[in-house]
Structures are given as structure tokens and as C-alpha cells.
Amino acid sequence: MRQRREVVEHPFGTIKMRVCATHFLLKTLPKVACEMALHVLAYNLTRVLNILGIRPLMAALRA
């Protein structure tokens, strides 16, 4: 289980599960890259919220 948590594919599986989709909604590489970037940003923000909490995150954003 420890090794499985360290696998790089875990975030992609989590993003795929949250979006409930197996394909991208947009076409062409620049649009797909933008869509993926938004998914990754949302994933990273939820991780920061879970790790730090809301107050430290808001304090860091204000600084």
C-alpha cells in the first residue's frame, strides 16, 4: 500500500474519478492542455486545503 501511494499515476486516477469522465471535453492540443491544467490546479488546491487548512492558505495568499 505504501508503494502504491507513491506511484505517480495516483493523482491522474484521482482527477479522472473526480471529473467522472474518461475523455476530454475539448478538441485540439492547446485546449486539452488548458483543460488538464485546470483539473490539476483544482486537484492541487484541494490538496493544499486538506494539508494546511483554510486559514493558513488564506494568510499565504494575502502575503
Q: Each residue of 27-48: pLDDT tens digit?
A: 999 999 999 999 999 999 998 8
- The set of residues, in sequence order, having a beta carbon less than 8 Å from that of 43 and lying 6+ positions away, is 11, 14, 15, 18
pLDDT of residue 38: 92
Which tens digits make up the pLDDT trace of 15-30? 888 887 778 888 999 9
pLDDT of residue 5: 66
Whether the per-residue pLDDT at 9 is higher than 90: the answer is no
